[in-house]
Structure 1
Amino acid sequence: MKGAVRKRGDTWSYYFNLGLIDGKRKKKEKGGFKTKKEAEKALRDAISEFEKGYIEPTKVNFTSVSTQWLEEYIKPLRKITTYSRYKEMNKKYLIPYLGFKEINKITALDIERMLLDIKKNNISDTTLQGIYTLCNSIFERSIKLHLIQNNPCKGVERPQRNKKQTDVLEVEEIPLLIKTLDLENEYDYMFYVAFRLTLELGLRRGELAGLTWEDISYGENVVSIHNNLIYNYGHTYMETTKTKGSTRTIYVSNELLEMLTQLNKRQEFKKNEYGEFYENNIFNDKSYDLVMRWDNGKYIHPMYYTNKIKKVVAAAGIDKTIRFHDLRHTNATLLIQQGVDFKTVQTRLGHEDINTTLNIYAHVNKEMQKNATEKLNNIFGGKLVAKK
């Protein structure tokens, strides 16, 4: 491909033909160069970029690019929860600040000002980091589509989030919590089942809610995890597990299997009792024989566990902020306390990367610290005592 340079007044410019675009013959021209040499170099660079597939967009704004990215790239390839979260974040944060700007004219300063302004609304560090990550992904995709040459997010420092010290239950607090439950009450009984399952298996909330009777193998003492029942923006969905590593098989105790056996008998009795009024749980045109369901057959909403744990912890007089997800943290902490290696903990929890396990459970409770100190003292003995 050839082009040419020419002088106009006191400056030089270059031009070259782009060919037919949308049925019209077009060319690219740019001026303002002080010397012929500068214009010739700019011409060579421009032709090189064009031959790689880059065409400078005209009046393509951020709203158009981000919406297309969501609908044509994220929606078909990612989970519905991811798509919904990205769409909401794009609408609420990115478009109000960047939507009207042409995609190739957005600068690092624009991104930085946006993040600083959003931060004034007292949003969490996690959300701010998510906004940056989403913005960065949109610009990275724009580079691959040859809409822009450089990602302006690269010139902005990625927001950091403060690591929260999560609360976990101590061993002696577990029976206190159980004592608050009335097992004759349907709602307390099902929470007790959820509590036992999560403490022993370290399940995520959605994995617990999506567990089916087909997932339980009594002969092998294992439970298979491959469903994820989630609540997102007013809708409940059945999806596959969070990651490939989350699809796993966990060995379970005989005691837990016995509890599940009793639950299964209860459900069969209730199914006969309700007869034609017994509810089936259908997601994506598929029926699921869920373990976690009410007496009338209807699935237990994921938010039930979130709301119930607060009431139970308060009733037990435990002065901690325990989320339902912290039962999963408690499971991991108890395993580590008992000397279970991190690789086994990683497998049971379904973390793809062991660093995730190490980062989340790097904190230790007082008992673990006490044991560590005692072991060191046993090693040192009186060797650290100064001799007179």
Structure 2
Amino acid sequence: MASFVELVPNKKYKLFVELESNPDGSRNRRTKVVKANGKREARKLLSKFEQEIIENSHLSIDNPFMPAFIDRWRKNYAQTELDVATLESYNISLKQIERYFKKKKIKAIKPLHIIEFYTSERNAGRGSLETKHKVLQSLFKHAVIWKYIDKEDNPMEDVAKPKTKRKQHKDFYNKHELKILFEMLGEQPEHQQLIAKCALYGGLRRGEVLGIADDAIDFESNKITVMRSLQCTKSKGFVLKETKGRDSRIVIFPDKFMQELYRYYKRRLQIKKDMGKLWTGFLDQNQKDIFLLFGNEYGNPFRPDSVSQFWDRFMNRNKDKIKRIRFHDLRHSSASLILSEGVNMKIVQKRLGHKDIRTTLNMYSHITTEDEQKASDVFNDFF
């Protein structure tokens, strides 16, 4: 809370900024006397004084205010350990966290304060509570690691993940709808057909499809190693994020599709040869020249959002022929189809690249429910 009182009319004002109470419960107030030509200027000086106190909170080594701690978290963890796209997505949540807790010191934040923050965000109609929960978990995890607070004082240990409304299951196409889809895809440019088929046949994400390079393809064994994901960030532009060794996965594709992909690949190589010095290509994070399977005539990658845009246009043109789904739902269609054909859930988990099989089970519970019904029907013969 911040306020001011007038000492001498239109000349001097006393500014007050109330901070979090001291550990003994006593008031923690900062004051300053300033000269101002009226109350409007006094309010501006008060706002500036309050901001100075918050910004200078880094001088409190053992117990900084939340904004100062967030700044340290960014410099000493997020900027080095998180990929650019993830940090950019976190920044939106960090703004709300910083604004809400700007007058609280890290040690003073209790579980109830976190829950009140979630309530405030819901009441304001702001979403992404799951992301904010994840960010707060990381902040206080590092507060423990860096010895700002004891492990037992971590407020996030006693705060449950906020509940959000979820669909009962993902949108997807069944066998009949996929036949219709393939007929319609035949009218699309070749690279768009292949991008959609990579997502459907392999269960790949949009960025994973655009991150496929020729060094990841084994045409003889019909395998593609998913080890990169293309991202487009505000600060660095295109970033080819390489997955960690344990997170890369090998996906086997249908042989006819791989033959189709090989013919396209050979044409891409010819384009590169024909372009000569006009071919600019693309460098990965290690500054190594890389030949992306999908890109423009200069070897530059397609923007990830351009894939969603072409898919939206495709859906709009065919809205009377087939139900509308997102491009990402091709991945869900892939998983739903192979599960309905009796493929083991563990194989599907590996194919999709889920770290935890519970993620796969939760996403495709609509399929497992059908299987449970089949299991129950087995006993009907006894009656």
Amino acid of the structure 2 residue aligned with 1:297: G
Q: CA deviation at 1:257?
A: 1.5
| Corresponding residue number in structure 1 for 2:299 | 297
Question: CA–CA distance in 2 between the matches of 1:319 and 1:271?
Answer: 37
Mapped contact 1:62–1:100 kept (Cα < 8 A): yes
Structure 1 segment 96-245 matched on structure 2, within 5 A: 96-124=99-127, 127-149=128-150, 150-164=153-167, 165-181=169-185, 183=187, 188-233=189-234, 235-241=237-243, 245=246
**CA displacement, residues 138-175 of structure 1 (integer Å, 9 cap, x when unaligned):** 12321232223412334444312223231001222223
**CA displacement, residues 40-83 of structure 1 (integer Å, 9 cap, x when unaligned):** xxxxxxxxxxxxxxxx9666211111110121022222322233
The reply to whether residue 275 of structure 1 matches residue 276 of structure 2 is yes
Distance 1:336 1:270, change over 3 A: same
| Corresponding residue number in structure 2 for 1:343 | 346
| Corresponding residue number in structure 2 for 1:309 | 311
Distance 1:231 1:197, change over 3 A: same
Question: CA–CA distance in 1 between the matches of 2:190 and 2:61?
Answer: 61
TM-score, normalised with respect to structure 2: 0.75
| Corresponding residue number in structure 1 for 2:380 | 380
| Corresponding residue number in structure 1 for 2:355 | 352
| Corresponding residue number in structure 1 for 2:337 | 334
Amino acid of the structure 2 residue aligned with 1:102: K
Mapped contact 1:245–1:350 kept (Cα < 8 A): no
Q: CA deviation at 1:89?
A: 2.0
Counterpart of 1:339 in 2: which secondary structure?
coil
**CA displacement, residues 230-280 of structure 1 (integer Å, 9 cap, x when unaligned):** 123463211112x65530112222201211121012213322443332331
Question: CA–CA distance in 1 between the matches of 2:246 and 2:133?
Answer: 26
Q: CA deviation at 1:377?
A: 4.7
Greater Cα offset, 92-101 or 151-160: 151-160
Structure 1, gaps ≥5 residues long? 1-29, 33-55
Distance 1:97 1:321, change over 3 A: farther
Question: CA–CA distance in 1 between the matches of 2:272 and 2:103?
Answer: 57
The reply to whether residue 60 of structure 1 matches residue 64 of structure 2 is yes
Mapped contact 1:136–1:151 kept (Cα < 8 A): no
Question: CA–CA distance in 2 between the matches of 1:70 and 1:254?
Answer: 46
Amino acid of the structure 1 residue aligned with 2:257: L
Q: CA deviation at 1:354?
A: 1.6
Q: CA deviation at 1:137?
A: 2.3
Q: CA deviation at 1:131?
A: 0.8
Structure 2, gaps ≥5 residues long? 1-22, 26-59
Counterpart of 1:180 in 2: which secondary structure?
helix
Amino acid of the structure 2 residue aligned with 1:172: H
Counterpart of 1:230 in 2: which secondary structure?
strand
Greater Cα offset, 142-151 or 206-215: 142-151
Counterpart of 1:343 in 2: which secondary structure?
helix
The reply to whether residue 286 of structure 1 matches residue 285 of structure 2 is no
Question: CA–CA distance in 2 between the matches of 1:76 and 1:357?
Answer: 30
Mapped contact 1:342–1:357 kept (Cα < 8 A): yes
Mapped contact 2:203–2:330 kept (Cα < 8 A): yes
CA RMSD of aligned residues (A): 2.7
Counterpart of 1:211 in 2: which secondary structure?
coil
Distance 1:236 1:173, change over 3 A: same
The reply to whether residue 248 of structure 1 matches residue 249 of structure 2 is yes
Question: CA–CA distance in 1 between the matches of 2:354 and 2:62?
Answer: 44
Counterpart of 2:229 in 1: which secondary structure?
strand
| Corresponding residue number in structure 2 for 1:24 | none
Distance 1:315 1:175, change over 3 A: farther
Mapped contact 2:141–2:154 kept (Cα < 8 A): yes
Mapped contact 2:272–2:298 kept (Cα < 8 A): yes
Question: CA–CA distance in 2 between the matches of 1:155 and 1:354?
Answer: 25
Q: CA deviation at 1:99?
A: 2.1
Counterpart of 1:269 in 2: which secondary structure?
helix
Question: CA–CA distance in 2 between the matches of 1:103 and 1:203?
Answer: 41
TM-score, normalised with respect to structure 1: 0.74
Question: CA–CA distance in 2 between the matches of 1:196 and 1:305?
Answer: 13
| Corresponding residue number in structure 1 for 2:40 | none
Counterpart of 1:214 in 2: which secondary structure?
helix
Question: CA–CA distance in 1 between the matches of 2:296 and 2:363?
Answer: 33
Greater Cα offset, 65-74 or 371-380: 371-380
Q: CA deviation at 1:372?
A: 6.8
Q: CA deviation at 1:355?
A: 1.6
The structure that has the greater radius of gyration is 1
Greater Cα offset, 71-80 or 209-218: 71-80
